[in-house]
Amino acid sequence: MGKIQVLDEHIANQIAAGEVVERPASVVKELVENSIDANSTKIDIAIGEGGLNYISVKDNGEGIEDDDIEVAFFRHATSKIKSGRDLFRISSLGFRGEALPSIAAVSKLTLKTSGNNKGIGAELNLEGGNIISKKQIAYARGTEIIIKDIFFNTPARLKYMKSLQTEIGHIIDYINRLSLAYPNIAFTLKHNDNIILTTTGDGKLLHTIAAIYGTSTAKNMIPFNDENLDFKISGFVSKPEITRANKSHISIFVNGRYIKNHLLNQAIIKGYNTLLMVNRYPIVVLKIDLDFSLVDVNVHPAKLEVRFSKEQEIMKFIEQTIYKALSNLNYIPEPATKKIEQQQYQKPVQAEINFKIKEAVNSFFSSTKTENIGEEKITIESTDNTENKEVNKEFEQVIESDDFQKDFFSKDKLPYLDPVAQINGTYIVAQNENGLYLIDQHAAHERIQYEKNLKLLNEETITSQELLIPITIDYTHTEIQSFLTHLDTLKDLGIEIELFGKQTLIVRSTPLWFPKGQELIFIDKMLHMLVKSNSIDIKELRNDLIANTSCKSAIKANHSLSKKEMENLLEQLRITDNPFTCPHGRPVIIHFSFYDIEKMFKRVV
């Protein structure tokens, strides 16, 4: 006798369950999708202990006809596709006919359903996939499925369950997305009798967004919609100042189905052009409707991934539509200038440093007049220079020479400097017995701020200050759940946060080193760090300080300074640990010794 045998239905279902029913959240997903496919307008979901205790999904949909009740639990039994051809035009969420038998195989399941309007229904009880009882009951049209003791007969799987909070987090996350996909369905989600989400089902997407993210966020969402021959897209994008620490608040729906797609995420972010800060992501609800023939949903068992046949076209279309939506509101300054600004903040190559030096020297030596405005303001106006080409060439050679760079930058502390002027509202001209110095005021201030912040951050005793006006931050229920256990850790760091309402945190005090006006960003970042790795990565926060704070709060170019202000700035710079470069690595100061200058004037050879 051969060794191969066809597995019996029970074992096959348990194996299938391994794919379909990975965790309580996947059970909830399958059940709610069935309710949606049954054209329900109201779906109530109740969860006990992250789903491990019980899961109940009740709808007012079409119900299951009496003859179909047992059949629904057969493998590959589905009312949704009839032939192989249907596979290419799938409009329902389910179609494999695997969910009910798989879920039943690993739990104790009760089904109550009625497919008529006579108030007569049926109740079916199963345990580990075996039918225990069936009886007639009084029941209004619709279906309720109750799952108890999930994984009771697959203890290995139970062992792999994460914390209850992780499980309920996944469930909330999924129900949030479904309610965004179906604003015309009234959803309620309860966990251990606490109401987590209620949507009205009034068909207004913005109302669902408000139910999930809070009204203040909803007020800052911008609608978009557009269509071409192939695609129709619509939804909401958050204003660029409303951002989150990760991409998980981008929800994309293709023909009503929530999907994850890296390329579409990119297209959305590109649509923001340069409006988003580094490592910050928007809240977006994007709905794409296209002909079923242009998308393949039959790629992934959990149906989360889809394949587009016109990928590049759809990406371009999304990017442009979002760009237009944002620029309509005058949120996009001239893109060209933005690009230049961005380039300046990239780590400079040597050529660029030299260019800056030249530029500074140029404007200095082409100055035609000196002005004394009052006692303190000294500015030298520069004009275009064409005559000093020869001198510049000399300069180029000197400053580009390794000797110059090494000699200057290897000095470990800055000498005392006397400011004599400010040029172009950008550079401070200073002197001492060793020659002439040009200082980039923005870079200098950035360095000062950076070291100051760093010291505060490293202080052993955390000094915390109470905020005059507490700040509130809205989060989704999923996030709130995962943050709650970490509030104590934050307290140790001088951050006092409390839950305020269902989905809002209120910040009462922050540590002294927190940059003003950036509190939200830092708290958000820290909360996400704690959830992700249970610890706070100070190094990463420091990097953020560099990227966001020091640069943002530093005095900008084209800002005229009084003599006193220049003296202050130079003095503060002098006592920094590294006065020579800004935190981005650009030079702060350039030195020309008298000898260099005399050489350039050919007084010495």
Contact set with Mg ion (CB under 5 A): 34, 94, 99
100 binding ligand ADP? (CB under 6 A): yes
Closer residue to ligand ADP in complex, CB, 63/515: 63
Q: Pick from Mg ion, ligand ADP, none: which does 481 bind, CB < 5 to 8 A by kind? A: none
Q: How far is the CB of 94 from ligand ADP (least distance, A)?
A: 2
Quote the distance between the C-alpha of residue 326 and its chain's center. Answer: 18
Within 8 A by CB and 6+ apart from 439, the residues are: 417, 427, 428, 430, 569, 570, 573, 588, 589, 590
Q: How far is the CB of 449 from Mg ion (least distance, A)?
A: 57
Number of shown-chain residues binding ligand ADP (CB under 6 A) = 22
Q: How far is the CB of 121 from ligand ADP (least distance, A)?
A: 12
Q: How far is the CB of 27 from ligand ADP (least distance, A)?
A: 11
Q: How far is the CB of 277 from ligand ADP (least distance, A)?
A: 42
Q: How far is the CB of 178 from ligand ADP (least distance, A)?
A: 14
CA separation for the pair 267, 247 (Å, rounded): 13
CA separation for the pair 536, 177 (Å, rounded): 29
Within 8 A by CB and 6+ apart from 130, the residues are: none
Q: How far is the CB of 99 from ligand ADP (least distance, A)?
A: 3
Residue in this structure with the two tokens 């005095």, named with its chain if needed = 555
79 binding ligand ADP? (CB under 6 A): yes
Site for ligand ADP in 112-151 (CB under 6 A): 143
Closer residue to ligand ADP in complex, CB, 298/572: 298
Which residue in the set 50, 63, 183, 271 belongs to the binding site for ligand ADP (CB under 6 A)? 63
Stretch that binds ligand ADP, among 98-106, 266-274, 325-333, 395-403 (CB under 6 A): 98-106
Within 8 A by CB and 6+ apart from 26, the residues are: 20, 302
Q: How far is the CB of 94 from Mg ion (least distance, A)?
A: 3
Closer residue to Mg ion in complex, CB, 43/99: 99
Stretch that binds ligand ADP, among 94-102, 236-244, 253-261, 329-337 (CB under 6 A): 94-102
Quote the distance between the C-alpha of residue 215 and its chain's center. Answer: 19
Q: How far is the CB of 227 from Mg ion (least distance, A)?
A: 30
Within 8 A by CB and 6+ apart from 108, the residues are: 125, 126, 127, 128, 147, 148, 149, 152
Q: How far is the CB of 30 from Mg ion (least distance, A)?
A: 5
44 binding ligand ADP? (CB under 6 A): no
What is the per-residue DSSP string for 76-126? T--SS--SGGGGGS--SS--SS-HHHHHHHTSEEEEEEE-SSSSEEEEEEE
Comparing every residue's Cβ against Mg ion, the nearest one is 94
Identity (one letter) of the amino acid at 431? Q
Which residue in the set 17, 21, 52, 64 belongs to the binding site for ligand ADP (CB under 6 A)? 64
Sheet of strand 108-114, all strands in order from the earlier edge strand to the far edge: 130-138, 120-127, 108-114, 142-148, 54-59, 42-48, 186-191, 194-198
Longest Cα–Cα distance of the chain, Å, equals 111
CA separation for the pair 91, 108 (Å, rounded): 30
30 binding ligand ADP? (CB under 6 A): yes
| Strand, helix or coil for residue 184 | coil
Q: How far is the CB of 74 from ligand ADP (least distance, A)?
A: 9
Stretch that binds ligand ADP, among 8-16, 89-97, 457-465, 470-478 (CB under 6 A): 89-97
Q: Torsion angle of alpha carbons 271, 277, 281, 285, nearest 10°? A: -40
Alpha helix stretches (DSSP H) within 386-534: 389-400, 402-409, 441-458, 477-484, 487-492, 519-533
- Show the tokens assigned to 415: 């000498």
- Show the tokens assigned to 434: 């060793």
Number of residues assigned to the chain: 605
363 binding ligand ADP? (CB under 6 A): no
Closer residue to ligand ADP in complex, CB, 106/417: 106
Comparing every residue's Cβ against ligand ADP, the nearest one is 94
Closer residue to Mg ion in complex, CB, 20/473: 20
Closer residue to ligand ADP in complex, CB, 113/482: 113
Closer residue to ligand ADP in complex, CB, 77/454: 77
**Angle at alpha carbon of residue 145, lines to 139 and 149, rounded to 5°:** 135
Which residue in the set 80, 207, 247, 508 belongs to the binding site for ligand ADP (CB under 6 A)? 80
Q: Pick from Mg ion, ligand ADP, none: which does 169 bind, CB < 5 to 8 A by kind? A: none
Identity (one letter) of the amino acid at 447? R
CA separation for the pair 27, 20 (Å, rounded): 8
Closer residue to Mg ion in complex, CB, 13/34: 34
* Chain residues in the site for ligand ADP (CB under 6 A): 30, 34-35, 38, 59, 61-64, 72, 77-80, 94-100, 143
